Structure 1
Amino acid sequence: MMKRLLILVILSSFLASCASLGKYRELPEVKAWESEIEKFEQLDIAKSY
């Protein structure tokens, strides 16, 4: 019984913490870095080792 309760608490905590990530992805502070990230990724793609 305690094992089921522990699993339920862990799963509900995980779901609650992940549910709030959606609103943070749309914040202007997060969106402001997208162009810089794209430039950085292009540098990595253009260079071959």
Structure 2
Amino acid sequence: MTAQEPGVQCGDRIALHDETGYTKYWVANIEYYCDPPDMWTAQLRPF
């Protein structure tokens, strides 16, 4: 997943919405971009 939101860290939980409701994931690995500094790419795992 790639997104732009400050403060996200490994171990955080993320809920994504789709047509059937919400699915919860935890951030297994995260890498931050240099510019903009609040943009990141993460590997998510089902919670």
Common fold: TM-score over 0.5: no
> Per the shorter chain, which TM-score range?
under 0.3
Max radius of gyration: which structure? 1
Q: TM-score under structure 2 normalisation?
A: 0.15
Structure 1 length normalisation: TM-score?
0.15
More helix by share: 1
